[in-house]
Amino acid sequence: MFKKTIYLILLVVLINSCSQKDKSETIIESPFTNDLIKETSPYLLQHAYNPVDWKAWNPAALKQAKEEGKLIVISVGYSACHWCHVMEEESFENDSVAKIMNDNFISIKVDREERPDVDQIYMSAVQLMTGSGGWPLNCIALPDGRPVFGGTYFTKEQWSKILKDMSALYKTNPEKVIAYASELTEGIKSTNLITVNTDKVIYNREALAQMVVTWKASLDFEYGGQKNAPKFPMPSNLNFLLRYSFQNNDKELQEFVETSLTKMANGGIYDQVGGGFSRYSMDKKWHVPHFEKMLYDNAQLVSLYSKAYQLTKNEAFKTVIEETLDFIDKELTHNNGGFYSSLDADSKTKAGELEEGAFYVWKTEELKSILKEDYELFSSYYNINSTTTWENDTYILHKKNTNEVFLKTESSSKKALDNKINNWKTKLYNARANRERPRIDDKILTSWNALMLKGYVDAYRALNNEAYLNKAIANGQFLKENLINEDGSLFHNHKNGKSTIIGFSEDYAHTIAAFIELYQATLNEEWLDTAKQLMDYASNHYLNKESEMFYFTSDTQTSLIARKTEVIDKVMPSSNSILAESLFKLGHYYYSEKNYADRSKQMLNNIIVNAKRAPSGYSNWLGLYLNYANPYYEVAISGKEALPKLKELESNYLPNILIAGAVNDSKLPIMENRYNKEDTYIYVCVDGSCKLPVQDVERAIQLLSK
């Protein structure tokens, strides 16, 4: 276990001593561009004209630091990040700050979305030093990359003093700095270390129920989500709680999930005009968002709302699905079938100034001008009043009540109100189109695209819209043709027609999971075959054979000071939990290859102690736990009518089934000896033990309910 030492105290005090403004403003001539001009990342390109001599994370930059014996500044952010832009404007565009950095450091800019491996290492360092983390992430490291100091956002005065003091300390007492870096690096290596659990674990409902009781204490049953603010949607958490509540008849939890989804959809975190969700809310009521829109959030939320709609048939959830996918189609979709990464939190005002949320907020004069006689009803519906102003007398549209509750106070029919709402949205959308749009991060990331592919599949199942399935198939083809290398490996990034950066375990995890879902929706075994091939490649190059867990980086990557193992389910589920879930499913499809099922169970066994202590951090793992604690069914559909029967089946919320199927004779182990030319049969099985096949979907659902 890493222990804080006197070196930590000495270093942290640097921040606290930054109260006096540095008066020395030596001006240097800024170079026209730095090395980042050669990059494709929109975030790195934003910094290409800074006077700081930025370099990208690459062997040449790391080699230069060693050769010159200079400390390294490692600054990590992403293009949609508001405070990253603030620090750039205050510090990295300042000539005097740039001179300090250029004279004393090798400065490396990192796009955390392109290089999550680098971000993981230095985020761990900052969390060990300060107890928290975030972006922008700023670390100072030895020439060999071992960190010695770090934090998040710093003012110009703080950053200048930190740079000077760290440079002076390294020159006058390098032994102290090196000793601290050595200890901190050991701390980084020890975080998320997985102990192999050789004890036999019995998976049962009682143990899982106790974990859920522990979890409930942190839930906000009034407004949804976790207690306190800021609030993140946390789709993986809500997805597990929805499934658990359904399978264990926990009405309180189901109501909590529905409340969470309703409050988020009514809140300012949801774009009431254009659809899609912002990254998080600054307040507990989901009113004030942090305005960046991320692909991975919206992809997972589409999946979540789709499953909730299957269960509840709540029309408001259907609207969220359709509007969010409309946003994805208009704003984040390339014509090659890939999906872009994000929209910026900031956009330009009429005065040409970058301002957070400027594209999304409204003044009353604008609204009155656009809506005219409808303004009074609109302001009541969207909470425009003196108590809900945001900054600069602007308003973030949000609803206090559902349409059903609102109608009780208004003399209007549901149909009339729906027409009004659609008319308002159209008018405001068209008016907003005349504003300066937020910047788009148009890089295409494999893992995030796979999440969006799955979102489209889930929406297709819930709403029976073939266009959604076609979008998913198009994206699957794009991933196969552009992100899978000839040797079976994955790339992480695609931009300007080129795929770059060796894939991470998250890319394999989400692509495998998405392709399994695409197989289950289409019964096209090409997707399942590819998922299996990717799993086999990941097992050969990412697996820690001692722990049976997967490293985040490939065994071909050697530039980092440590290989991390990602296990905690955050806003995105951990790569290991997704891989374990897919191994479980592949173990059913290819039951003769026993290592899939065995590895999945060992991975879950390794995590179970941690999950009992902090269940909300292991929500996707607990979904796998449910597969063992509650009945889990294989549903095999074989025959010429397999696809229509599948479509009928999947309109229902059935979270504890694995679909297999074929319209012809299949060599897939799970489908062997099940094809009949004349009739289509549905086989419902548990652990290979099958009930008598049936032809009627309703009858099959009855068997599942038992």
Are 301 and 430 within one domain? no
- Cβ–Cβ < 8 Å for 470, 459: no
Are 447 and 426 within one domain? no
Are 515 and 567 within one domain? yes
Are 273 and 373 within one domain? no
Are 400 and 320 within one domain? no
In a domain, 62, yes or no: yes
In a domain, 117, yes or no: yes
In a domain, 64, yes or no: yes
Q: Could you say which residues of the chain have pLDDT below 70?
A: 1-31
What pLDDT was estimated at residue 265? Answer: 98
What pLDDT was estimated at residue 112? Answer: 96
Task: State the Cα–Cα distance between residues 552 and 216, nearest whole angstrom.
Answer: 31
In a domain, 273, yes or no: yes
Q: Which residues contact 539 (CB under 8 A, 6 or more apart)?
A: 599
Are 528 and 575 within one domain? yes
Residue carrying structure tokens 């529905």: 258
Are 617 and 493 within one domain? yes
Residue carrying structure tokens 């170079």: 31
In a domain, 351, yes or no: no
Nearest to 585 by CA among 677, 648, 490, 656: 656
User: Of 161, 190, 219, which one is at a domain's C-terminal end?
Assistant: 190
Q: Which residues contact 113 (CB under 8 A, 6 or more apart)?
A: 41, 43, 78, 341, 342, 441, 443, 445
User: Of 130, 162, 190, which one is at a domain's C-terminal end?
Assistant: 190
Task: State the Cα–Cα distance between residues 413 and 410, nearest whole angstrom.
Answer: 9
Give the relative orientation of helices 156-172 and 6-16 as an angle to the nearest 10 degrees. Answer: 140
Longest dimension (CA), the chain: 87
Nearest to 203 by CA among 690, 706, 612, 674: 612
Task: State the Cα–Cα distance between residues 476 and 331, nearest whole angstrom.
Answer: 19
Are 106 and 218 within one domain? no
What pLDDT was estimated at residue 18? Answer: 38
How many domains does the chain fold into? 4
User: Of 158, 190, 222, which one is at a domain's C-terminal end?
Assistant: 190
Over the range 23-42, which residues count as b (16 or more CB within 10 Å of their CB) and which as e? eeeeeeebeeebbbeebbbb
In a domain, 198, yes or no: no
User: Own/partner pairs for 396-400, CB < 8 Å, 24+ apart?
Assistant: 396/268, 396/287, 396/288, 396/289, 396/357, 396/360, 396/361, 397/268, 397/272, 397/273, 397/362, 398/266, 398/267, 398/268, 398/272, 398/286, 398/287, 399/266, 399/267, 399/272, 400/266
Residue 662 bridge partners (DSSP): 638
Are 465 and 599 within one domain? yes
Which CATH number characterizes residue 342's domain? 1.50.10.10
Are 375 and 496 within one domain? no
Helix, strand or coil, per DSSP, at residue 72: strand
In a domain, 309, yes or no: yes
Model confidence, pTM: 0.94
Nearest to 161 by CA among 21, 321, 359: 21
What pLDDT was estimated at residue 31? Answer: 53
Task: State the Cα–Cα distance between residues 394 and 378, nearest whole angstrom.
Answer: 15
In a domain, 678, yes or no: yes
Are 95 and 143 within one domain? yes
Tokens standing for residue 503: 């894939």
Which CATH number characterizes residue 34's domain? 3.40.30.10
Q: Which helix (H) or strand (E) holds 77?
A: strand 71-77
Task: State the Cα–Cα distance between residues 46 and 88, nearest whole angstrom.
Answer: 9
Instruction: Write the burial class of residue 432 (CB in 10 Å: 0-12 exposed, 13-18 middle, 19+ buried).
Output: middle
Nearest to 298 by CA among 448, 439, 467, 437: 448
Question: Per residue in 208-242, pLDDT tens?
Answer: 999 999 999 999 999 999 999 999 999 999 999 99
Strand pairing class (55-56; 105-111)? parallel
- Supply the range of the domain harboring residue 375: 360-434
What pLDDT was estimated at residue 30? Answer: 47
- Cβ–Cβ < 8 Å for 674, 683: yes
Are 637 and 586 within one domain? no
Question: Per residue in 323-368, pLDDT tens?
Answer: 999 999 999 999 999 999 999 999 999 999 999 999 999 999 999 9
